[in-house]
Structure 1
Amino acid sequence: MWEASIHGFLLALGLILPLGAQNLFIFTQGAYQTRLIRALPSVITAAVCDTLMVALAVLGISVVVFKFVWLQTMLFGMGSVFLLYMGWAIWNRGPSNGQAGEAKLYSARKQVVLAVSASLLNPHAILDMIAVIGMNSLRYSGMEKVAFTGAVISVSWLWFIGLAVAGRMLGRLDPTGSWMRTINKCSAVLIWGTVLYMGWQLLR
């Protein structure tokens, strides 16, 4: 069981480390919200979505995506449109200082909607779950599979909490918002680059 747990932990950590729309959204919520607890809706929603995708991948249900080309095409198309919007929103987002900034803060409901979109409309994340997590889970059965799955899910929860905390710390160290503006611009370019790469893959 320990081997399965360590395998799941390291595998999930390798998949979740690269910056993407989901990670960037959680990080910026930690930075922009007036209190860390106000970023919990996005953290919990993203973690629950990852938990669901991991469970579906391990159970083999999500492999249906590979069987239908039209479903993959629709997934990439919807994901690309959402990521374009997310990149635009991040590019134009400024630091939340004072009452004017607080008016721009995302409500709990909007955080949930955007976190679900960043998680479930991200084709790369879904395909990684199916191709990597799902396939690696086939090595195990019984309690070893449970240990593997639990380790993968634990990484998601701990990682998103850590991202929100890191965002909060940067937000407090950056009262003028200059760092966050730079991070926002770089994040938007990164997301748009992902869209271009997805479009190239779709055309192939």
Structure 2
Amino acid sequence: MTTALLSAFAKGFALSAGLIIAIGAQNMFVLRQGLKREHVWPIVLFCAAADAVLIVAGVSGLGSMLAVVPGLSLALGLGGAAFLSWYGASALRRAAHPSALTVDRQASISLGAAIAGTAAFTFLNPHVYIDTVMLMGAVGASLPPTERLPFMAGAVMASFAWFASLGFGARFLAPLFSRPGAWRVLDLAIGVMMLTLAASLARSALTN
């Protein structure tokens, strides 16, 4: 691999890592499922694959189309706000009932429900399109054609590495979360964060 291709790979990896390594709705969901050790591999692979599809679409030119379809941004914003509100309220309800907080007694969800939840956190978040489709798409599309593939490969690698670390690294926190009080704090934090994000998304969608 030439220096230019290595540089493009590193640029894609660094940009993707900088955008996704943040505590957001999707990451909190992956973390919680990792703590429960439930459907971690399918969730990690889904998140990485979704990022891959969006990054490729962005570099291929979809970002410019989204930029001129304001109705789509409004729909995504309001849909995301509704979903985050529901999930935030659910987290606060879990925090209010200690019997539902210990790891062994966590209510399990099916693989289908886990993937559906992951999809909602991924595709109902307008920021994912700004980050992957528009921003990464713009950077990738600005590169020479021969450097776009390693750029996308680096970006996808960063996404997979992050979600795998988040999902499987969560098990090292299991001793802490064997106490109901720790789950209460986590669910309270998740609930407040989701409702705050929901308000922010709704306000942004309605004012832009």
* TM-score (norm: length of structure 2): 0.87
Q: How far apart are the structure 1 equivalents of 2:125 and 2:140? A: 21
Find the counterpart in structure 1 of residue 156 from structure 2.
153
Instruction: Decide which of 10, 18, 33 is 2:14's aligned counterpart.
Output: 10
Find the counterpart in structure 2 of residue 28 from structure 1.
32
Find the counterpart in structure 1 of residue 41 from structure 2.
40
Find the counterpart in structure 2 of residue 72 from structure 1.
73
Matches within 5 A, 1:68-147: 68-93=69-94, 94-98=100-104, 101-102=105-106, 104-147=107-150
Find the counterpart in structure 1 of residue 97 from structure 2.
none
The residue identity in structure 2 corresponding to 1:90 is A
Residues 153-193 of structure 1, C-alpha deviations (whole Å, 9 max, x = no match): 11111111100122221123331132232122112212221
Q: How far apart are the structure 2 equivalents of 1:177 and 1:144? A: 50
Find the counterpart in structure 1 of residue 202 from structure 2.
199
SS in 1 for 2:174: helix
Residues 31-66 of structure 1, C-alpha deviations (whole Å, 9 max, x = no match): 0136xxx32222221221111111111111243222
The residue identity in structure 1 corresponding to 2:53 is L
Find the counterpart in structure 1 of residue 166 from structure 2.
163
Find the counterpart in structure 2 of residue 185 from structure 1.
188
SS in 1 for 2:175: helix
Kindly state the Cα deviation for residue 203 of structure 1 after the two structures are TM-superposed.
2.6
Moved over 3 A (4+): none
Kindly state the Cα deviation for residue 199 of structure 1 after the two structures are TM-superposed.
2.0
Q: What's the C-alpha RMSD, in Å, of the aligned pairs? A: 1.7
Kindly state the Cα deviation for residue 69 of structure 1 after the two structures are TM-superposed.
1.5
Kindly state the Cα deviation for residue 200 of structure 1 after the two structures are TM-superposed.
2.1
Kindly, what percent of the aligned residue pairs are identical?
23
Change in CA separation of 1:3 and 1:86 when aligned onto 2, cut-off 3 Å: same
Kindly state the Cα deviation for residue 91 of structure 1 after the two structures are TM-superposed.
2.7
Residues 53-108 of structure 1, C-alpha deviations (whole Å, 9 max, x = no match): 1111111124322211211111111111111112222333343444xx25x11211
**Cα pair 1:32 1:95 within 8 Å, conserved:** no
* TM-score (norm: length of structure 1): 0.89
Q: How far apart are the structure 1 equivalents of 2:102 and 2:55? A: 34
Q: How far apart are the structure 2 equivalents of 1:195 and 1:184? A: 16
The residue identity in structure 1 corresponding to 2:14 is L
Q: How far apart are the structure 1 equivalents of 2:171 and 2:111? A: 17
Kindly state the Cα deviation for residue 139 of structure 1 after the two structures are TM-superposed.
2.4
Unaligned runs of 5+ in 2: 95-99
